[in-house]
Amino acid sequence: SFGEDEGGEDDLEIRPAVVTVMGHVDHGKTRLLDSIRSAKVGEGEAGGITQHIGAYQITVPVDEVDRTITFIDTPGHEAFTAMRARGAKSTDIAIIVVAADDGVMPQTVEAINHAQAADVPIVVAVNKIDKEGAQPDKIRGQMTEYGLVPEEYGGDTMFVDISAKQGLNIDSLLEAVVLTADASLDLRANPDMDAQGVAIEAHLDRGRGPVATVLIQRGTLRVGDSIVAGDAYGRVRRMVDEHGEDVEEATPSRPVQVIGLTSVCGAGDTLMVVDEDRTARQIADKRNARKRNALAARSRRRISLEDLDSHLKETSQLNLIIKGDNAGTVEALEEALMGIEIDDEVQLRVIDRGVGAVTETNVNLAAASDAVIIGFNVRAEGKSTELANREGVDIRYYSIIYQAIDEIESALKGMLKPIYEEKKLGQAEIRQLFRSSKLGNIAGCMVLDGIIRRNAKARLIRDGKVVVEEMTVSSLRREKDDVTEVREGFECGLTVTYSDIKIGDVIETYELVEKPRD
Ligand code: GDP
């Protein structure tokens, strides 16, 4: 879950609770959010909350200590669910609003289900108690059926009777939120690391370009940071808060509008800071490519000469992240893996290691660096499996070291890419040109050496220079017959997948053959 798994105990600092308001339509969610916002303006908050950025923070005194709470400023559970579906945990506590004159309704139940599924503690706001038909006790009875037993009946859910319209008991509700957070959550995060957050809203602004409201979850986001959010990237040019003021840095649980992404990211996308712009771009490009790949049917790739070149030069690397149940096994596993004998072309790199469950942070890093995660005697925590599936990250679990070694070894063997060599087939000179309505330009040729083969790759040579690198002999005839090959010293008629051919041009055909490995 968010904020707790980075750095040592000493690095963790208290962060404000993040709250979402949910409930049935017309029960007063919007009114409640307005009322909380404006109650705080009345108390002379600097500038007041003037901007709808998708979230805001307020401060309340609880037991004489000023406590900050972050509110997600989108009523309803759609945003909550959308983010959860994308693996982002954006909320610590849910306020479920029930109108005292109406009672538990279908969307109330849905909201309870969402919060409970996400393991988010609930505070119940019994709203509209100013109304005549208000029956707050009846609401308490109804909610008990869904496992929400009021404290006054011996349960552990706090119920607060409010009137969003009259601004009644809003402070008690905020206090209940803080007390619930204190009782059931450990809200701490490490502010001294590169920031991570979740985009809760994003849009294209006419003047400012792509704008994303980001809720910081760990670390501190600063102006100038290189960032990636989903498949968008950029650099933080400016940050603006809910008071419309510029901010230089944002710490955990702080919502800020971030200006500087080059495209609009999605709500629920994870934002992270990377070392430099180039890395941000690479990660975003990779994610874009992955998205495209997932969409496009996998067609067999044609090998171009450039590819051939890079096949020969490229060294492959398998990146690993190792998570284990204790420091000893992690170390042992890493040593054993590094001992695997592999070809020079393939490298094995352990880019991160640690004790404990596979976290979303691990998955994000793996996605960003194309790494495979190895979990040794550990499981995936929270939403990390979901995130891994979405990002196409491979998590492999083992409890026996040699099995891990065996599998990684075979993975490395599988990574040895085939090497292709060009094998020259032959050359033919164009002696005559014919025009066919069906086939286009037909070249009457003399095979000068070797063979010309139908469907073979070909290049066009004019005055001793290659003018076309990539074409194919698409039809081949000897006399009146379609043939697959014509040998040296014979005439033939052929067409190529390039129309601007001339008498005197030479067509050279070749093929790519896989070089055997031992
Ligand atoms: P939402 O759909 O849950 O966001 O509900 P709204 O906040 O839009 O409220 C629906 C209606 O109930 C509006 O007409 C509000 O003015 C009214 N309303 C909200 N809270 C209260 C309240 O505490 N008392 C009364 N009398 N009306 C309220």
User: Mean pLDDT by 10-residue block, N- to C-terminus, for the chain (518 residues)?
Assistant: 55 92 94 88 62 91 93 75 64 95 91 86 97 96 94 94 97 96 92 90 88 94 94 95 94 96 87 87 80 47 39 61 83 77 72 88 85 88 88 85 79 67 90 85 94 92 88 91 94 90 93 69
pTM above 0.95, yes or no: no
Q: Give pLDDT, residue 514.
A: 73
Task: Assess whether the C-beta atom of 130 lies below 6 angstroms from ligand 1.
Answer: yes
Task: Assess whether the C-beta atom of 76 lies below 6 angstroms from ligand 1.
Answer: no
Task: Assess whether the C-beta atom of 84 lies below 6 angstroms from ligand 1.
Answer: no
231 token code pair: 């498949």
- Chain centroid, CA 327 distance in Å: 29
Which of 24, 78, 131, 165 to probe ligand 1 with, by most ligand atoms within 8 A of CB? 165
Rounded distance, CA 175 to CA 51, Å? 25
- Closest atom of ligand 1 relative to the 31 alpha carbon: 7
Rounded distance, CA 471 to CA 469, Å? 7
Give bridge partners of residue 59 from the DSSP assignment. 68
Which of 30, 31, 139 to probe ligand 1 with, by most ligand atoms within 8 A of CB? 31
110 token code pair: 């849905």
CA of 52 to the centre of ligand 1 (A): 19
- Which residue's CA is minimally distant from atom 11 of ligand 1? 26
> Rg of the Cα trace of the chain?
32
Maximum distance among all alpha carbons in the chain? 105
Task: Assess whether the C-beta atom of 30 lies below 6 angstroms from ligand 1.
Answer: yes
CA of 97 to the centre of ligand 1 (A): 10
Q: Give pLDDT, residue 401.
A: 74
Rounded distance, CA 247 to CA 138, Å? 46
438: three-class secondary structure by DSSP: coil
Write phi, then psi, for 23 (nearest 5 degrees).
150, 175
Determine how many CB atoms are found less than 10 A away from the CB of residue 316. 13
Tell me if 19 sits within 8 A of 92, measured CB to CB. yes
- Which residue's CA is minimally distant from atom 19 of ligand 1? 28
Task: Assess whether the C-beta atom of 128 lies below 6 angstroms from ligand 1.
Answer: yes
Determine how many CB atoms are found less than 10 A away from the CB of residue 485. 17
Task: Assess whether the C-beta atom of 290 lies below 6 angstroms from ligand 1.
Answer: no
Return the exposure string of 283-314: e unless at least 16 CB atoms fall within 10 Å of the residue's CB, then b. Answer: bbebbeebeeeeeeeeeeeeeeeeeeeeeeee
Task: Assess whether the C-beta atom of 165 lies below 6 angstroms from ligand 1.
Answer: yes
- Closest atom of ligand 1 relative to the 25 alpha carbon: 2
Task: Assess whether the C-beta atom of 90 lies below 6 angstroms from ligand 1.
Answer: no
CA of 75 to the centre of ligand 1 (A): 12
**Cα dihedral sign, 219-222-228-232:** positive
- Closest atom of ligand 1 relative to the 168 alpha carbon: 23
Q: What is the dihedral of CA 320, 357, 113, 181, to 10 degrees?
A: -120
CA of 170 to the centre of ligand 1 (A): 14
